[in-house]
Copies of this chain bind each other. A is one copy, B any other.
Amino acid sequence: MSVRIGIIGTGAIGRDHARRIAQVLAGGTVVALADANPAAAEAVRRDIAPGAEVFARGQDLIASPSVDAVLVTTTGATHEPYVLAAIAAGKPCFCEKPLATTATAALRIVEAETALGRRLVQVGFMRRYDAGYGALKDAIARHTGRPLMVHAAHRNQSVPGDFDTPMAIHDTLIHEIDVFRWLLEDDHVSARVLFPRTTSRSHANLRDPQIVILETAKGVVISVEVFVNCAYGYDIQCEVVGENGTARLPEPMAVQTRTGARLQNDILTDWKERFIDAYDIELRDFLQAAARGTVAGPGAWDGYMAAVTADACVSAQALAGEAVPISTPARPALYD
């Protein structure tokens, strides 16, 4: 009953998912590996999945009859053809974000899946599987009443020198873009961006921080501070304000100490630790749905909507606070 998994892309993320399937989670077996760098695939086979077959080409891995489901963990630019091939083969496919590097490409995936009439694509928006966001969604249902506003912050301790202003949308804000659609059960209809003075820790190509303001179809105004050189740690904040009250995303678990005239706890500095449990849970969800020949989590439509919204945010970066409308085709019934 174990789902036979093929992994295309065995860099850091692909290798980590291989470890999850082989050593952490019930329900899957890594049977096939492929990477542009064959040595990387071989290393994963040797260290983690001794029984796996190494394919030279991802397309062959997808086609192999010994593979039930596929993980696409290559660089973003190569996602589209692999995902389309998995759809064509009728095999469940977990694709790391972004689904594709353009909204047009993402829409092609949506159309292929819609044409098939069956959901086969899960996108790696792991925050939907975070226990804290889950509890926040539950609190909206139980406590806050109709949401009116959201204020959020996405802060990274620092980013490499080649990180630029649009990347703060495509690589950073992208998680908020998706998770707020899910949290609020609502769609973004406009975006604007404001630039406070830039931290002296940034450089010419990166205006940091920035404040992105999204408005939803229901009229919720979401303000997100994106600050990728915040210096002090990796910190994700979110408060929802509704008609009856507010709810706040929990802080990560931490021991509070009292030493040296300070009451304190550690703040994480590594983003990988922040959602470490969510990665396990998203992949377990994929394995369980794949065993039934389908997927259940964030899908191709979500990947498309995130891409369209991110494009609007990047456009808005040039417009000094002016709103950019976000328009999309109607949601296909497959995604209801």
Contacts and interface: CB of A to CB of B under 8 A. Distances in A.
A108 interface: no
Interface in A120-159: 131-132, 135-136, 138-139, 143-146, 148-149, 151, 153, 157
Given A132-B253, A255-B135, A321-B321, A241 B209 contact: yes
Contacts of A198: 148
B249 A255 contact: yes
A256 B245 contact: no
Interface residues of A, number: 78
Interface stretch (A80-88, A161-169, A263-271, A297-305): A263-271
Contact of A262 (B136, B265, B284): B265
A201 B245 CA distance: 12
Interface stretch (A18-26, A31-39, A89-97, A99-107): A18-26
A26 B157 CA distance: 34
A149 B24 contact: no
A243 B250 CA distance: 24
A253 B250 contact: yes
A211 B149 contact: yes
B209 A148 contact: yes
Contacts of A213: 194
A192 B321 contact: yes
Contact of A251 (B24, B151, B194, B263): B263
B250 A199 contact: no
Contacts of A132: 253, 255
Interface in A254-289: 254-269, 277, 284
Given A21-B26, A144-B257, A244 B231 contact: yes
Contacts of A250: 253-256
Contact of A255 (B136, B199, B232, B261): B136
Contacts of A24: 25-26, 284
Interface string A183-215: 000000000101111111100000001010101
A27 interface: yes
Interface stretch (A52-60, A64-72, A173-181, A218-226): A218-226
Contact of A218 (B23, B197, B199): B197
A247 to B, nearest CB: 5
12 contacts: A131-B253, A132-B255, A139-B255, A148-B209, A148-B227, A197-B218, A231-B245, A245-B257, A247-B256, A247-B258, A250-B256, A258-B267
* In the A-B complex, the 9 residue pairs with the closest CB atoms: A197-B219, A245-B259, A264-B264, A196-B221, A232-B245, A139-B255, A135-B255, A246-B258, A143-B257
